[in-house]
Amino acid sequence: MNTLFTFVRHGETDANRNGILQGQKEYPLNSAGIAQAEAVAEYLQDREFDVIYSSDLSRAAVTAQKIMDTGHTNVPLILTAQLRELDCGDLSGWNYTDLREKYPEKMDFFYRESGSGAFPGGESKIGFQVRIDEFLQDVLNKHRGKKILLISHGGVLMRIFRSVAGIGGAHTLLPLAGNASVNEFQYSEKFQSWQLTQWNFREHLKNIPQHQTLVL
C-alpha cells in the first residue's frame, strides 16, 4: 500500500517575476499566475484525490480553488498555516539583489543543506524543516493509502525534497521547481520509506509565459 502525494507550487506573482523575497507576506497571483493556475487545474481535472491541503496564503489558496473548481468540488479542501512559506521576517519584501549584497550567508543557507540560522525576525531553517516534517507525518497518519494533493510554496517543496530524497552534499544546492509545476512523491508501507517520483513537471504550461526560477 502506498500513500500518493501530488504537490503543486502556486501560480506566479509579481513578486516572483520581479525577484522579491515573499516569505509569508501576501502577494496575489498576477495574470500569468491565474492562467497557470487554470492550466494546472485543467491538467489535474481527471485525477482522483481524497483530500486537498493548501497553504492559507492567498497565492496558494487561489491556485487551490482553481483546481477545486475544475473537477474536484466534492474533495475536501483544508487551508493550513503549516504549509506556509518560510517566515523571512524583516527581510520579507526585499529584492534578491539587495539580499545577496547585504546578507549573502542568509541566502546561502536558504538553498544549501550546510549551515543553519534564521532570517532576522523570522523562522529558523531547522524550525521550518521540523514544521514541514511534522505536517507530512501528520497527513500520512491521517490518510494512509490515499491520494493527497498539496498546494504550497517553493521553499516548502525544497524542505519536502530534503525529507523525501535525503540530504544533499556540502557543494550541492536544493533543486527548484517552477510556478504551477506538478511534483509527486509517495510513502511505501512495504519499504517504510519515502520516494520521489516526479519533479518540476510543466508540460501543461508550455503555452503560458513563465519567468525562470533561478538559484539566487
Catalytic residue among 12, 38, 72, 85: 85
Strand boundaries in 81-166, DSSP class E: 147-152
- In the chain, what is the straight-line distance between the N-terminal and C-terminal CA atoms, in Å? 39
Mean pLDDT across the chain, nearest whole number?
Answer: 93
CA dist., res. 176 & res. 111, Å (int)? 9
Q: Is 169's pLDDT higher than 80? A: no
Question: Domain extents for the chain?
Answer: 2-181+195-205
pLDDT at 104: 81
Q: Please give the average per-residue pLDDT across 25-40, as a whole number.
A: 98
pLDDT at 212: 78
pLDDT at 114: 65
CA dist., res. 124 & res. 117, Å (int)? 5
**Residue 14 identity:** D
pLDDT at 213: 76
Cell triple for 26: 501576501
**pTM of the full structure:** 0.95
Q: Please give the average per-residue pLDDT across 58-68, as a whole number.
A: 98
26 classed as catalytic: no
pLDDT tens, position by position, 126-142: 999 999 999 999 999 99
Instruction: Count how many residues are written for the chain.
Output: 216
Which DSSP symbol is given to 201? E
CA dist., res. 205 & res. 183, Å (int)? 14
Cell triple for 88: 523571512
Beta carbons of 36 and 62 less than 8 angstroms apart: no
Percent of the chain with pLDDT over 90: 80
Give the pairing type, strands 182-188 and 193-201. antiparallel
pLDDT at 58: 98
Cα–Cα distances (Å) from 107 to 43, 96, 110, in that order, read: 34, 9, 5
pLDDT at 173: 82
Catalytic residue among 10, 72, 153, 204: 10
CA dist., res. 176 & res. 130, Å (int)? 20
Q: What is the CATH number of domain 2-181+195-205?
A: 3.40.50.1240
Give the pairing type, strands 51-55 and 147-152. parallel
72 classed as catalytic: no
pLDDT at 215: 54
Q: Among 11-15, 59-63, 74-78, 115-119, whose mean pLDDT is lowest?
A: 115-119
| Cell 540560522 sits on residue | 117
pLDDT at 214: 66
pLDDT tens, position by position, 138-165: 999 999 999 999 999 999 999 999 999 9
Confidence of residue 118 (pLDDT cuts 50, 70, 90): confident
Give the pairing type, strands 2-9 and 182-188. antiparallel
